[in-house]
Amino acid sequence: MDNASACELCPSFSTTLTEGSTSIDKCICSEGYFDARSADHQSDRVHCERCSTGVNCFGRLGITMKTLPLQRGFYRPSEQSVDVRRCPDAPSNCSTSDGVEPVCDGTSSGCRGGDNFNASCMDTLTGLFCELCLPSNTSGSPRVYYVPASLSEAAHCKDCKNQLGLTIGIAIGIVGGAIALAGVSYMVSRRLNVDKTYFWQLLLDLNVMARPLNKLKIMVGFYMIVSQVSSVYDIVLPAAITVFLERVSQVLTLGLDQFATPLACLGLGRYPDTLTFWMVVPPAILVVMILGAVAVLCYQRK
């Protein structure tokens, strides 16, 4: 009997490394495919599926679910998962002409990718989409906080150091500057003997004619939406636009995400802590600003 006629074909999209293999167990997935068998079904025949977006299977044979090679900027929750997702910071430092390229080789994302799940995040990073800092293995180690990816640097963790003192200093500087500005304005108005009644009437007339507050609300609402378009809809914007929207976002968030002490430095690095912070602090600051404005108006009308 011809030995060739007795050969059993490998399952679909699989092959063997050498011709004339004597066991079906020698079958491995072809280029562009991976073995989708889980750890509990390794005794079954190889089952090859096409690699999805975010997985670089080309030029390689015998890829398994455990060694699934992710592209830079992509993440999966475990080495037994085929749920490959693009990391939120994947567009960082990427720019394309059509604005739809999901990721680039030069991305500054914290998601390293590769075929080793335990090293799929950049150094010092861990967690879902590599957006958490690795906990320290030694007691007394300094606290660190997560720094998102940007055009200038990759995502990483940074030592808190004297971050709280810096935040307090900035707050004192802002309050002091506001008080100094108010004092200078008051002194100038006294020296020039400005007619307050005429001044307030002028402001009221300007508000009636131009409605600047309505236009300001429309503009703020517009930029609040536009500044989140890239992250919500996975769109890669030109670098100049990205930088501009980052600056706008800092203004709209009152600079809290840029200058405020990271919650992780206060031992409040969990997501509920962050959510509570953004739900409570901005409205509280707005209330303080309104009360301050009312107090100034009451003082000026005395």
Question: Per the domain annotation, does 123 fall within a domain?
Answer: no
Question: Per the domain annotation, does 222 fall within a domain?
Answer: yes
Question: Per the domain annotation, does 82 fall within a domain?
Answer: no
Residue ending a domain, among 69, 92, 109, is 69
Residues 4, 8: Cα–Cα separation, whole Å: 9
Q: 267-296 burial by CB neighbour count: b if 16+ within 10 A, else e? A: eebeeeeeeeeeeeeeeeeeeeeeeeeeee
Same domain, 65 and 190: no
**Tally of domains in the chain:** 2
Question: Per the domain annotation, does 155 fall within a domain?
Answer: no
The pLDDT value given to residue 174:
72
Residue ending a domain, among 50, 69, 88, is 69
Match 């998102």 to its residue by tokens: 148
> CA of 61: how far to CAs of 38, 98, 139, in Å?
18, 33, 45
If one counts every other C-beta atom within 10 angstroms of the C-beta of residue 206, the result is 11
Same domain, 182 and 288: yes
The pLDDT value given to residue 7:
74
Structural tokens at position 163: 């971050």
The pLDDT value given to residue 97:
44
- Consecutive 10-residue runs of the chain (302 residues): their mean pLDDT? 64 88 88 88 86 90 92 92 89 62 76 92 91 73 82 85 72 76 71 61 68 78 80 70 79 63 76 81 80 72 61
Question: Per the domain annotation, does 113 fall within a domain?
Answer: no
* Sign of CA pseudo-dihedral 41, 45, 48, 49: negative
The pLDDT value given to residue 3:
53
Same domain, 60 and 169: no
Residue ending a domain, among 69, 90, 119, is 69
From the list 285, 264, 290, the residue with the least C-alpha distance to 136 is 264
Question: Per the domain annotation, does 253 fall within a domain?
Answer: yes
* Percent helix, strand and coil across the chain, each to the nearest 5: 45, 10, 45
- The residue range of the domain holding 64 is 10-69
Question: Per the domain annotation, does 4 fall within a domain?
Answer: no
Residues 247, 134: Cα–Cα separation, whole Å: 29
